[in-house]
Structure 1
Amino acid sequence: MSIFNERIDRLKTSSVKWELTKDIFGEMDLWPMWVADMDFKPPQAVIDAIKKRVDHGVFGYTFVPPSVSEAISAWLLKRHQWDIQSPWLLYCSGVVQAISTAINAFTNEGDKVLLQSPVYTPFFDMIEKNNRVVVNSPLVLDENRYQIDFAQFEKTLQQGCKLFLLCSPHNPGGRVWTKDELLKIGELCLEYNCLILADEIHSDIVYKQYHHIPIASLSDQLSEKVITLIAPSKTFNLAGLQASAVIIKNKAMRTQFQEQLKRQGVFTLNTFGIIGMEAAYREGENWLDELIDYLQDNKEYTIQYLTEHFPQITCIDSEGTYLLWLDCRGLGLSDKDLRNLLIQKGKLALEPGPKFGHGGEGFVRINIACPMDDLIEGLNRFKNALT
């Protein structure tokens, strides 16, 4: 029996996913399949390492020891064939904080920042809240798979974009970008002197027929113009530990980023974020391999269920992440009506597509990182809402 079948009650743990549905969706008692965290315990090695640190009993100021960067470097080399050096690493409490820091470090107010919608909502938020200008080169949905319109992408770069936010693998569409696609992105960004901020937080959750490639690993020239963001939060369900890593090979850019962190008063990570991050990257590989197999089964079950009950709904077949992007336009419902049916009739909380920008209209995002029984419960509620 899989360890991922265990159902864990997350109520009364200050869980955003389970306890803030009233604040987010306006209703209590919704089945939550929205925000991107998992309902699984992390690797036992992570729990044990944190317990050991708790037992020590003293929680004074801490720094990130060299052993953490060594663990991350070894992980990236083994899982993604990317050979990085420890000095390239900096740390933030989360990827969203790192996105904001990079925007402030490498652009000025009023500068244009490029993204590709539909895409992770904080991309928009961090650009706009820092008084930069969003420039969008929308992805193209072609035969149930998102593609990049490179002619349009180049036109947007010609507008003078200073920074491009790359979501790799893509959230919510689940694309794992190919080497040729990444090389083309890199070639154009280099040509138009646009830095690349690569959010690769989902890079470890990729289904077995696909392979994530860190864009910074593709060439020496490209590695000098890329800021890469990773974290154990999605991979090992450690979002609450508030720990992420920033990889910048270019020393001047790394200094620039670090100075911006200092201006924000950021100097280290919390004690348990440090402990959890190192333990996950050192000892979490077998757990992750089992997780990916489990998610594959959940994905296939979801697609089969929707095909049987709702042939007018198309599930974008995710190549990575534990998020599925459902094209509900065939239902003939407005986004408001779809949302109301899911919440009021189905008692189900999903992410509405319009949150992800242009191209998200008529879609919803569902999180399948839960025990199979919980997935079935959610899908039955989905069916009840729309039947």
Structure 2
Amino acid sequence: MKFHFDEPIDRRGTSCVKWDESPSADVIPMWVADMDFPVAPAIQEAIKKRAEHSIFGYTIVEEDYYEAVISWFHRRHQWTIQREEILYTTGVIPAMSCAIKALTMPGEKVLILSPDYNCFFSSIRNNGCEVSETILVKDGDSFVVDWEDFEQRCADEKTTVFLLCNPHNPTGRVWSKEELERMNTICMKYGVKVISDEIHGELIMPGYLFQPFATVNDACRQNSVILNSPSKSFNIAGLQTANIICSQPEWRRRIDRAINIHEVCDLNPFGPVALKAAYNESEEWIDELNQYLWDNYQALCQFFEKELPLCKVTQLEGTYLVWLDVTRYSNDVEKLCDDLLTKGKVWVNPGTMYGAESGKGYIRINIACPRSRMMEGLERIKETINHETKK
């Protein structure tokens, strides 16, 4: 490989959430969605060049920023975005909150596919809305939508927005074109708007194709608000740059107003620089990253098949987050995760973070780290589970 994903980098002492929030220095963190890889060289060089200028005042988002976004999605995903459809903000979570604020009224329901990214729950409730959960159905080593329940929930007159995670965190699903089209057909039947969080859209495993919701057909484009960012894919979340893509002028006007109400309308000097370097110069890096993540996932599958065969690994189609069924080892994933942290010195997330009922029996593991570190973390998981289940 041209890029060095195997190289361990010490992140402690850098005010790093993933590492410096650990309760002790001997913990391996495999929890928050943050990669332990250096950014693409083009991004680092662009940041260095900008840092050489010694003033970091308020920043204008110039035309080449929009050109980079438009070019990337046209090249990678055959999606033609118009300049006026793009609204920038500081992150996908603020973007989500702004979109919900703009498209709902307090007391209405927002539909999600559960288990789901934990911030979906808080963002919905923070805007005075109610969470409506369609529980995903286990199908072999993957998950599918319960279409009957999905339609029933859309038919509820209080449901006005469907908040989609595409690709899906935490199950790793990359929704097919047919699934996305079916979601939108049902949503439009009942007047439900779609907000699609596509932050993991570039993290796609071999054999799978990411379909931006707005590219499925014109109906999907007209009935959706898309949230995306290079932050997860290019490991630049701390630079706080994201985009909202919306083809409906009236929705866009309301979202723009919400961005200003929430006061998340200004980017820092490094965010646009990093986005342009990512989208214009780092395509080869993201392709190699996805191959490395896939190899990590294969190593993880082999490990569990040999060492902890009662753990069932969910098929990883996208993201770098593995959804692991530990039901046969523990009925209490919160206690298990506490034991893993305090006794095994490895930090993973309990599935109940992503749905009190739908996440029972699961843990989520971040595999975006050098393989040697991942394997050490898996060994610690094995030793802790074996020790605790022998009691």
Whether TM-score is above 0.5 comes out as yes
| Residue in structure 2 matched with residue 17 of structure 1 by the alignment | 18
Structure 1 segments, 4+ long, off by >4 Å, are none
| Residue in structure 2 matched with residue 206 of structure 1 by the alignment | 204
Matched to 2:115, the amino acid is: P
Please say if residues 120 and 172 of structure 1, whose CA atoms lie closer than 8 Å, have aligned partners that are also in contact: yes
| Residue in structure 2 matched with residue 386 of structure 1 by the alignment | 385
Matches within 5 A, 1:293-372: 293-357=291-355, 358-372=357-371
SS class of match (2:194): strand
Matched to 2:121, the amino acid is: F
* Number of residues of Structure 1 aligned to a counterpart in Structure 2: 383
| Residue in structure 2 matched with residue 269 of structure 1 by the alignment | 267
Please say if residues 90 and 265 of structure 2, whose CA atoms lie closer than 8 Å, have aligned partners that are also in contact: no
| Residue in structure 1 matched with residue 150 of structure 2 by the alignment | 153
| Residue in structure 2 matched with residue 217 of structure 1 by the alignment | 215
| Residue in structure 2 matched with residue 140 of structure 1 by the alignment | 137
Matched to 1:95, the amino acid is: V
Post-superposition offset of 1:345: 2.0
CA distance in 2, matches of 1:227, 1:21: 36
For residue 66 of structure 1, the aligned residue among 38, 63, 68 is 63
For residue 288 of structure 2, the aligned residue among 279, 287, 290 is 290
Matched to 1:18, the amino acid is: W
SS class of match (2:365): strand
**Identity level (%):** 41
Q: Which has the higher helix share?
A: 1
Post-superposition offset of 1:284: 1.0
Matched to 2:4, the amino acid is: I
CA distance in 2, matches of 1:222, 1:294: 33
Matched to 1:244, the amino acid is: A
Please say if residues 4 and 291 of structure 1, whose CA atoms lie closer than 8 Å, have aligned partners that are also in contact: yes
Matched to 1:14, the amino acid is: S
Please, which runs of 5 or more residues in structure 1 have no aligned partner? none
CA distance in 1, matches of 2:45, 2:13: 22
Please say if residues 241 and 273 of structure 1, whose CA atoms lie closer than 8 Å, have aligned partners that are also in contact: yes
Post-superposition offset of 1:55: 0.7
| Residue in structure 1 matched with residue 389 of structure 2 by the alignment | none
For residue 114 of structure 2, the aligned residue among 114, 117, 120 is 117
CA distance in 2, matches of 1:98, 1:32: 27
Matches within 5 A, 1:210-249: 210-249=208-247
CA distance in 2, matches of 1:129, 1:267: 19
Post-superposition offset of 1:386: 1.1
CA distance in 2, matches of 1:265, 1:292: 35
Please say if residues 190 and 222 of structure 1, whose CA atoms lie closer than 8 Å, have aligned partners that are also in contact: no
For residue 281 of structure 1, the aligned residue among 279, 285, 291 is 279
Post-superposition offset of 1:219: 1.9
| Residue in structure 2 matched with residue 181 of structure 1 by the alignment | 179
| Residue in structure 1 matched with residue 47 of structure 2 by the alignment | 50
Post-superposition offset of 1:85: 1.1
SS class of match (1:246): strand
Moved more, 98-107 or 338-347: 338-347
Matched to 1:7, the amino acid is: P
Post-superposition offset of 1:28: 5.8
Matches within 5 A, 1:251-266: 251-266=249-264
Matched to 2:12, the amino acid is: L
CA RMSD in angstroms, aligned pairs only? 1.2
Quick check: 1:85 aligned with 2:85?
Answer: no
| Residue in structure 1 matched with residue 248 of structure 2 by the alignment | 250
SS class of match (1:308): helix
CA distance in 2, matches of 1:280, 1:74: 12
Matched to 1:3, the amino acid is: H
Post-superposition offset of 1:99: 0.8
SS class of match (2:132): strand
SS class of match (2:52): helix
SS class of match (1:342): helix
Deviation sequence 1:301-352 (CA, Å, 0-9, x none): 0010011011100000110011100000011442233123212221110011
CA distance in 2, matches of 1:300, 1:266: 40
Deviation sequence 1:121-145 (CA, Å, 0-9, x none): 0000111122111111111111111
Please, which runs of 5 or more residues in structure 2 have no aligned partner? 387-391
Please say if residues 345 and 384 of structure 1, whose CA atoms lie closer than 8 Å, have aligned partners that are also in contact: no
CA distance in 1, matches of 2:6, 2:198: 27
SS class of match (1:271): coil
Residues 56, 177 of structure 1: alpha-carbon distance in 2 compared, 3 angstrom cutoff = same
TM-score by length of 1: 0.97
SS class of match (1:137): strand
TM-score by length of 2: 0.96
